[in-house]
Amino acid sequence: FLMMGNLATGLKAHAVTMFERGKLGAENVDDLLRLLADVDTNAEGEAQRYNDHAIALRETLLALRSSPLVQQRRQQQQKQQQRHQPPS
């Protein structure tokens, strides 16, 4: 729905990336959430259908991010990255 809807250019770019690669990196998810936050909740006809799907995607991503398991995994990844960074 993100690829077919006329919601925003950035959203379409993320949709193409997800379709072609099957995933988004954490930094891309941050940008995707920022763009999804700007989706208008009021539209008419078929446009409302696209908006509803975009809003559902945003809410799903936010719910997944608030999961304790996801937060724990993110903290572990950050610790690993810090260990592998060369001293400055």
pTM over 0.95: no
How many angstroms separate the CA atoms of 27 and 24, rounded? Answer: 8
Q: Tokens 């903290």 label which residue?
A: 75
How many angstroms separate the CA atoms of 69 and 76, rounded? Answer: 11
How many angstroms separate the CA atoms of 74 and 76, rounded? Answer: 5
Q: What is the pLDDT of residue 3?
A: 58
pLDDT digits (tens, 9 = 90+) for 50-86: 888 888 989 998 998 888 887 888 888 888 888 887 7
pLDDT digits (tens, 9 = 90+) for 9-36: 778 787 777 777 777 777 788 888 988 8
Token readout for 71 is 């937060």
Token readout for 32 is 């995707």
Report the share of the chain in percent with pLDDT over 70.
90
How many angstroms separate the CA atoms of 49 and 81, rounded? Answer: 40
